[in-house]
Amino acid sequence: MVLGMSLQAFTLVHVVISLIAIAAGLVVMFGLLGSKPMPGLTAIFLLFTILTNATGFLFPFKQLLPSYIIAGISLVLLAIACIALYGMNLKGVWRPIYIVTAMISLYFNVFVLIIQSFLKIPALAALAPAVPPAPPSGPVFAVVQGIVLVFFVVLTIGAWRRYRPMAFA
């Protein structure tokens, strides 16, 4: 039991939170490319990304896994992103700090989604076998993660160059 829910129900809630965070984050990312602030959706992205990382720590702990380390780093980055956005209003150096920290946090969520997809979807698991507790491996998995990494690097650089909000309300 976690937070009064069965482990299966808690896992479902965690996955739904993660998918909402990723979907909102992708829309926000493309909004950054068009210099569209989207304050409501940005708040949803940040809140649900914080929640998905925080709820990840509530699963039964057997050993320190890379997912815990990624979640910890992501929470630090999200704190910086929230300070840059809400505390410093993206002024000066805080604009690129926000873009980079928010997009790395989004990338981490997508990175974990890909790992979980390769672990849980039989067709993908056959392409990149994993020996628990190690993540999936092999050329297909590496190519997919590499493409996603390049995608995020290119779009983050694009957002850094193009995002010039008049005011974030």
Does 167 score more than 70 pLDDT? no
Compute the distance between CA of residue 128 and CA of residue 115 in angstroms, rounded to an integer. 10
The answer to whether 54 and 75 have CB atoms below 8 angstroms apart is yes
Does 15 score more than 70 pLDDT? yes
The answer to whether 32 and 26 have CB atoms below 8 angstroms apart is no
Compute the distance between CA of residue 167 and CA of residue 68 in angstroms, rounded to an integer. 35
Give pTM, 2 decimals.
0.91
In three-state secondary structure terms, 142 is: helix
pLDDT in tens, 59-78: 888 888 888 999 999 999 99
pLDDT in tens, 108-126: 999 999 999 988 888 888 8
Q: How many CB atoms lie within 10 A of CB 167?
A: 8
